[in-house]
């Protein structure tokens, strides 16, 4: 199958890949397909150009945007197809049900995880892609591990579950790891994680207290503040008010 044909198949199956096409320069129209594991199909006719576009394609497929770029003096279009990002939620609490619903509405794929099977039920979390009644290591294994498009929210107040989930998430490629709890609770958590062998720079990755400062009171408002922070991180924004922003309001792809 050609690179373009394989790309079309992956796009139809909700897969992830980047199709690189020369749009200006020698061999206009030549294509190279790059997959998540770094492998590629086809060639643009120059090993150095192939290496450069493979690196750029890997970067873009995880940031989930297509771009026109000039690499090694050749203009190429990098067309990305990717599945919806995943939000893995630990803790079968009231906030979690609303967060699953908001994630689904905004085009994310939410997973609900909690080892307490009596609380982690499909009936309580109808918007979850899957409700996994298991400890974090097994739960992450069930969804195929943690990749750069997997965001993690830990919403329990149980140190055993919190720490197990955070330890795995903080040592993964997850771009966002948020945790419920006050600043005092976060300091206690920090001491436990340090004692468990995590480094300061790993612990500093935790977004805690989780969510944006919306003055949230209800479960719905709290879930909104969490989802807003996750979306902001995914888009490389800090979540401030647009009225105070001097930059572009909406990103426009190439």
pLDDT per residue over 72-101, tens digit each? 999 999 999 999 999 999 999 988 999 999
Q: Looking at the domain assignment, is residue 249 inside a domain? A: no
Are both 147 and 230 inside the same structural domain?
A: yes
Residue 254 has pLDDT above 50, yes or no: no
Are both 121 and 219 inside the same structural domain?
A: yes
Name the 3-class secondary structure at 87: strand
Are both 135 and 227 inside the same structural domain?
A: yes
* pLDDT of 249: 54
Q: Looking at the domain assignment, is residue 56 inside a domain? A: yes
Identify the CA nearest to 82 among candidates 51, 112, 108: 108
- Domain span including residue 11: 3-81
How far, rounded to the nearest angstrom, does the alpha carbon of residue 20 sit from its chain's CA centroid?
A: 23
Q: Looking at the domain assignment, is residue 52 inside a domain? A: yes
Are both 146 and 67 inside the same structural domain?
A: no
Mean pLDDT, residues 68-75 taken together: 93
Q: Looking at the domain assignment, is residue 242 inside a domain? A: no
d(CA 232, CA 99): 15
Mean pLDDT, residues 29-48 taken together: 93
Q: Looking at the domain assignment, is residue 248 inside a domain? A: no
- Are the CB atoms for 254 and 68 separated by under 8 Å? yes
Mean pLDDT, residues 217-233 taken together: 94
* pLDDT of 26: 83
Q: Looking at the domain assignment, is residue 51 inside a domain? A: yes
Are both 107 and 44 inside the same structural domain?
A: no
Q: What is the pTM of this model?
A: 0.87
Which pair of structure tokens corresponds to residue 198?
A: 């995590």
Q: How many domains does the chain have?
A: 2
* pLDDT of 252: 44
Identify the CA nearest to 99 among candidates 63, 136, 64, 129: 129
Q: Looking at the domain assignment, is residue 243 inside a domain? A: no
Residue 34 has pLDDT above 80, yes or no: yes
Are both 21 and 139 inside the same structural domain?
A: no
Mean pLDDT, residues 219-244 taken together: 89
* pLDDT of 253: 44
């Amino acid at each position: 199958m050609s690179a373009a044909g394989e790309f079309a198949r992956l796009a139809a199956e909700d897969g992830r890949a980047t199709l690189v096409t020369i749009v200006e320069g020698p061999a206009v129209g030549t294509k190279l397909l790059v997959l998540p594991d770094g492998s590629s199909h086809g060639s643009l006719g120059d090993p150095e150009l192939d290496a450069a576009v493979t690196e750029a394609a890997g970067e873009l497929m995880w940031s989930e945007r297509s771009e026109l770029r000039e690499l090694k003096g050749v203009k190429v279009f990098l067309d990305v197809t990717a599945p919806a990002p995943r939000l893995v939620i630990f803790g079968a609490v009231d906030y979690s049900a609303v967060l699953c619903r908001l994630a689904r509405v905004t085009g994310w794929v939410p997973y609900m995880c909690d080892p307490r099977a009596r609380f982690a039920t499909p009936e309580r979390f109808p918007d979850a892609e899957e409700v996994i009644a298991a400890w974090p290591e097994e739960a992450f294994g069930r969804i195929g591990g943690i990749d750069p498009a997997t965001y993690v929210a830990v919403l329990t107040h149980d140190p055993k579950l919190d720490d197990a989930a955070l330890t795995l998430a903080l040592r993964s490629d997850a771009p966002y790891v948020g945790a419920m709890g006050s600043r005092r609770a976060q300091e206690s958590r920090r001491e436990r994680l340090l004692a468990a062998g995590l480094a300061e720079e790993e612990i500093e990755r935790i977004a805690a207290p989780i969510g944006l400062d919306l003055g949230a009171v209800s479960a719905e408002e709290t879930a909104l503040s969490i989802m807003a922070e996750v979306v902001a991180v995914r888009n490389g924004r800090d979540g401030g008010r647009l009225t105070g922003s001097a930059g572009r309001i909406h990103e426009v792809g190439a």
